[in-house]
Amino acid sequence: MAVGLAISPAPARGRWSANALPIGIFLVLAVIPLVALVTGGGYLVSLGARVMIFAVAAVALDLLLGYGGLISFGHAAFIGLGAYAVGILAAHGITDALVALPAALAASALYAFLTGIVCLRTKGVYFIMITLAFGQMAFFTATSLAPYGGDDGLTIAARSTFAGFALIKNERAFYYVVFACLAGSYLFCRALVASRFGRVLRGAKENPVRMATIGFNVYRFQLAAYVIAGALAGLSGFLLANATEFVSPAYMSWQRSGELIVMVLLGGLGSLNGAIIGTAAYLLTEEWLAGFTENWKVIFGPVLVLVVLFARGGLIGVWTELVRRIGRG
């Protein structure tokens, strides 16, 4: 009995240390509208919503990149498809989220399935190039949609309604809808990674031949992960279209896909917490540097190189090392 009492607090401390960071992240995100209300900074709410929207896509990409070892340079295409589903339906007078959201998820998931069937037949640099090719195919298709704005993009008259009610017209209400979507995406991916599915996906990343030898169909698991990531990126696109009330082919560009990869790398591969932190760090640094010069990328580029060279685990790795040293002290 005494032994049981002696060892039982250790797992509890382990669970708390594992959950402290995500709890802290979501607490900070939850209070941003309250801080903005006190300080009168309405822009803070829109900036926080933008960070969370791209964090949804980054979390989805980390599922592929960090846990599956699949470097996709076409991830932004799924965001664009989700956004265009909202824009095209709105252009035809269908503005209810109960229609637009399933359409955005279905369009992105279907495109992920159809392209994933081909992409996942390849490995390494070939996988990178073919995902880039499919991403650019979606981009150029969007630029050719003259009835929906073509190169100029498509303006959406108003945000989506929910069963006819304009629930997200208010900025703070929309912020908490985005917050709920990010929390749901994070918890879903976290549960997925901890499940048997996630263990097979991680095993396939390390040694696909061994996983196939013991009886797992690696291709099917990777295709399922690819479709899930695509659908979550479509959710990000749905939110982005409503946030900006505008849809553009630029959402699908390979530069956007590259930025998403940088966000994941900056936060730390194979850490869903890192995907959120990396997204926030990237977008907030971009916002800060853009206030000094329009050539902010000239400054930001070397900073990213230094992070990659000296913080191999990204910002989450720096945090983990700091916590470890404090624990030793």
pLDDT tens per residue, range 7-38:
444 455 555 556 888 899 999 999 999 888 88
- Output the six-digit token pair for 266: 């900056």
pLDDT of residue 309: 75
Instruction: Specify the DSSP class assigned to residue 260.
Output: H
Q: Which residues in 224-249 are b (16+ Cβ under 10 Å) and which e?
A: bbbbbbbbbbbbbbbbbbbbbebbbb
**pLDDT tens per residue across span 287-299:** 888 777 777 778 8
Please return the burial class of 159, using the count of CB atoms within 10 Å of its CB with bins 0-12, 13-18 and 19+. buried
pLDDT of residue 287: 86
pLDDT of residue 59: 96
pLDDT of residue 329: 60
Closest CA to 195 of 174, 225, 220, 173: 225
**Contact in structure between 315 and 274 (CB atoms under 8 Å):** yes
Q: Residue 155: helix, strand or coil by DSSP?
A: strand
pLDDT of residue 229: 96
**Contact in structure between 247 and 153 (CB atoms under 8 Å):** yes
Distance CA 275, CA 63 (A): 10
pTM here? 0.90
Per-residue pLDDT of the chain (329 residues; tens, 9 = 90+): 343 434 444 455 555 556 888 899 999 999 999 888 887 777 889 999 999 999 999 999 999 998 999 999 999 999 999 999 999 999 999 999 999 999 999 999 999 999 999 999 998 899 999 999 999 999 999 999 888 888 888 999 888 888 888 888 888 999 999 999 999 999 999 999 999 999 999 999 888 888 888 888 999 999 999 999 999 999 999 999 999 999 999 999 998 999 999 999 888 888 899 899 999 999 998 888 877 777 777 887 887 777 777 777 778 877 777 767 776 76
pLDDT of residue 18: 66
pLDDT of residue 268: 85
